[in-house]
């Protein structure tokens, strides 16, 4: 494992603090653990090298394979909605760049992350191992199946949008657990939080959003 240098990690520290104040705190993200995690994690390292100077801007960024690195506020809002305290086992559907994975790994006991695209999964794993995260388990597969042999999970985070949240994933949520995901079609999406209470699943909306489609057996078909 090749650890990343302290200089690479500490670059853009001022921009990172400004991002947290201007984009998260100013828009209502209050969880101090989330704010501190996003102040620590070097977002620029998860961006394409040519776009690192834009990593802390208020915008999503392309990462290749028609996928994106979500804008900082969305990452903060989704993470806060998980309500992590530090002892949770979390399932993430869509590793992508690995940035959201890192934020959750700062806040939970263990993260199980699934990515269907081989190149993205390998790149994210290399960066996350270079940052010395030891509590992340990686898998390359169709994320709409979830990870049944590791279920139940205390929290589930889906980083791509399906018309409806796959029942296969809801079933893997533990009692009292929270699932955060975007839902809707390509033009109209809502960020939602599901909470499991016995046989009931409560749902609340956080607001509008825009995500790439969740591709898989229980999501959207792949475009060929």
How far, in Å, CA of 212 to CA of 186, rounded?
8
pLDDT at 1: 52
Query: What is the three-class DSSP state of 85?
Result: coil
Q: What is the pLDDT of residues 98-111, one digit of tens each?
A: 999 999 999 999 99
pLDDT value for 8: 76
Please, what is the Cα angle at 93 between 111 and 9, to 5 degrees?
55
Domains and CATH numbers, the chain: 6-209 (3.40.50.150)
pLDDT at 224 over 70: no
Angle CA 129–150–98, to nearest 5: 30
Which residues are identified as catalytic?
A: 70
- Residue-wise pLDDT for 46-83, tens only, equals 999 999 999 999 999 999 998 999 999 999 999 999 99
DSSP 8-class letter at 24: I
> Tens of pLDDT along 114-131?
999 999 999 999 999 999
Question: 215 and 118 in contact (C-beta within 8 Å)?
Answer: no
Q: What is the largest CA-CA distance in the chain?
A: 50
Q: Note the pLDDT of residue 2.
A: 65
DSSP 40-79: HS-GGGGS-GGGGGGTTSSS-EEEETTEEEPPHHHHHHHH
The pTM assigned to this predicted structure is: 0.95
Reading across the β-sheet that carries 153-158, which strands appear in turn? 136-140, 110-115, 89-93, 153-158, 173-184, 189-197, 200-209
Average pLDDT, the chain: 95
Q: What is the DSSP string of 172-191?
A: TEEEEEEEEEEEE-SS-EEE
Q: How far apart are the first and last CA of the chain?
A: 35
Q: What is the pLDDT of residue 187?
A: 84
| Beta strand 110-115 pairing with 67-69 | unpaired
């Amino acid at each position: 494992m090749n650890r990343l240098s302290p200089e690479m990690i500490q670059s853009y520290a001022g921009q990172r603090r400004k991002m947290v104040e201007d984009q998260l705190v100013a828009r209502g993200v209050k969880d101090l653990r989330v704010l501190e995690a996003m102040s620590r994690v070097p977002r620029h390292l998860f961006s394409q090298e040519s776009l690192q100077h834009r990593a802390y801007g208020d915008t999503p960024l392309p990462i290749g394979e028609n996928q994106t690195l979500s804008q900082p506020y969305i990452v903060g809002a989704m993470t806060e909605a998980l309500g992590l305290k530090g002892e949770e086992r979390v399932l993430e559907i869509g590793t992508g760049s690995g940035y959201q994975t890192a934020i959750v790994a700062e806040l939970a006991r263990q993260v199980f992350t699934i990515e269907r695209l081989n190149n993205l999964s390998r790149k994210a794993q290399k960066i996350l191992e270079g940052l010395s995260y030891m509590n992340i388990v990686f898998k390359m597969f169709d994320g709409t199946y979830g990870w049944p042999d590791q279920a139940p999970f205390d929290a589930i985070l889906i980083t791509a949008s399906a018309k409806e949240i796959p029942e296969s994933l809801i079933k893997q949520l533990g009692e009292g657990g929270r699932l955060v995901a975007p839902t809707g079609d390509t033009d109209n999406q809502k960020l939602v939080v599901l909470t499991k209470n016995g046989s009931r699943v409560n749902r609340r909306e956080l607001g509008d959003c825009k995500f790439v489609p969740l591709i898989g057996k229980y999501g959207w078909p792949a475009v060929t």
